[in-house]
């Protein structure tokens, strides 16, 4: 499988008035052409920060402090702002958590799609407008010619999310980052949105990074899962293998705290403790150590990746 995104030892920090937040520490993963990988974990674990950092969208307080990230052979960590701006929307695109906030409220949705196509594909105004209507039809918006003149406030949340997908894939990017793409949508609309993304990925060979806290969604829609805790990826495996035999204590706790259709709510178990303060100068090598029921003295040694099965790796000295 051809690698589209290759991330190695990727680290990010934020400088704040109360100290430096070590948001990501040596994050590493790969995504191949046509593959969907889910990045899962609690809120605050660093999933969205990973996406923003990869695309050069960190705010002024954030900076990449180490590692590398290559998109189809182009190094993102050393690319100039102009180069990153050219990559975003053409070779890599992102669907944001809140589509209403991401869309321009004072421009018709058709014009917003056309803007992206004109910027990155160099089409004329007329051709870009036709392409916008075509994309609205492709993502299942009825009467696309008329809807192209609508404003975001005139559309439902599900329709706005479809528009975001249309903008993201209009230039057929190599990589799509979908950051909690089903947030705030009803179950039926969630399924429709994910079906559209899967269809487009299948047709174009687009690699997809699905960021979600919804393990059920990850289980259904991804071929591989990477589990993130407090800025570390702690386990990565094929979806079926990870769900059938999770080995990292955090992954096991996360699954135990996730409701299932066949399970009893009384059987759910919360994860004790809280995420560590990432401003601490003495952060332990394993950031789950204070919450871990399997903690040993050996866990104070620097963490290393261990292959415990083909394509199944963990960062843990005392796996389940």
Domain boundaries, the chain: 3-98+173-222
Q: Using CA atoms, how far apart are residues 72 and 2, in angstroms rounded to an integer? A: 9
Q: What is the tens place of the pLDDT at every residue in 40-51?
A: 999 889 999 999
Lowest mean pLDDT among 8-17, 160-169, 295-304: 295-304
Map 59-98 to HEC letters. Answer: CCCEEEEEEEEEECCEECCCCCHHHHHHHECCCEEEECCC
> b/e per residue, 298-310, with b = 16+ CB within 10 A?
ebeeebeeeeeee
pLDDT cut 70: percent of the chain above it? 97
Question: Please, are residues 36 and 21 in contact by the beta-carbon 8 Å criterion?
Answer: no
Q: Give me the pLDDT at residue 143, please.
A: 93
The whole-angstrom separation of Cα 25 and Cα 283 is 11
Q: What pLDDT shows up at residue 264?
A: 60
* Per-residue pLDDT tens over the stretch 46-68: 999 999 999 999 999 999 999 99
Residue linked to tokens 């040694």: 301
Q: Is the pLDDT score of 265 beyond 80?
A: no
pTM: 0.92
Pairing of strands 3-16, 92-95: unpaired
Its CATH architecture, for the domain 3-98+173-222, is 3-Layer(aba) Sandwich (3.40)
Residue 79 has pLDDT above 90, yes or no: yes
Residues, the chain: 320
């Amino acid at each position: 499988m051809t690698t589209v995104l290759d991330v190695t030892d990727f680290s990010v920090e934020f400088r704040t008035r109360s100290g430096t937040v070590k948001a990501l520490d040596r994050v590493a993963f790969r995504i191949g052409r046509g593959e969907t990988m889910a990045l899962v974990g609690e809120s605050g674990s660093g999933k969205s920060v990973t996406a923003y950092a990869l695309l050069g969208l960190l705010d002024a307080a954030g900076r990449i402090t180490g590692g590398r990230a290559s998109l189809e052979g182009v190094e993102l960590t050393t690319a100039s702002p102009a180069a990153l701006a050219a990559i975003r929307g053409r070779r890599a695109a992102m669907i944001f958590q809140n589509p209403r906030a991401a869309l321009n409220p004072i421009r018709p949705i058709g014009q917003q799609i056309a803007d992206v196509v004109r910027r990155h594909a160099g089409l004329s105004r007329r051709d870009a407008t036709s392409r916008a209507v075509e994309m609205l039809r492709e993502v299942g918006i009825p009467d696309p010619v008329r809807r192209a003149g609508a404003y975001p406030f005139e559309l439902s949340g599900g329709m706005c999310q479809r528009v975001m997908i249309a903008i993201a894939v209009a230039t057929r990017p190599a990589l799509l980052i979908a950051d909690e793409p089903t947030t705030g949508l009803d179950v039926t609309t969630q399924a429709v949105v994910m079906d559209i993304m899967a269809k487009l990925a299948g047709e174009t060979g687009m690699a997809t990074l699905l960021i979600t806290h919804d393990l059920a969604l990850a289980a259904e829609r991804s071929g591989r899962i990477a589990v993130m805790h407090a800025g570390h990826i702690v386990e990565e495996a094929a979806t079926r293998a990870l769900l059938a035999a999770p080995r990292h204590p955090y992954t096991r706790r996360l699954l135990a705290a996730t409701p299932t259709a066949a399970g009893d709510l009384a059987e759910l178990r919360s994860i004790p403790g809280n995420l560590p303060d990432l401003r601490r100068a003495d952060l332990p090598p394993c950031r789950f150590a204070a919450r871990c029921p399997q903690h040993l003295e050996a866990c104070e040694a620097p963490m290393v990746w261990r292959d415990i099965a083909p394509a199944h790796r963990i960062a843990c000295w005392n796996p389940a």
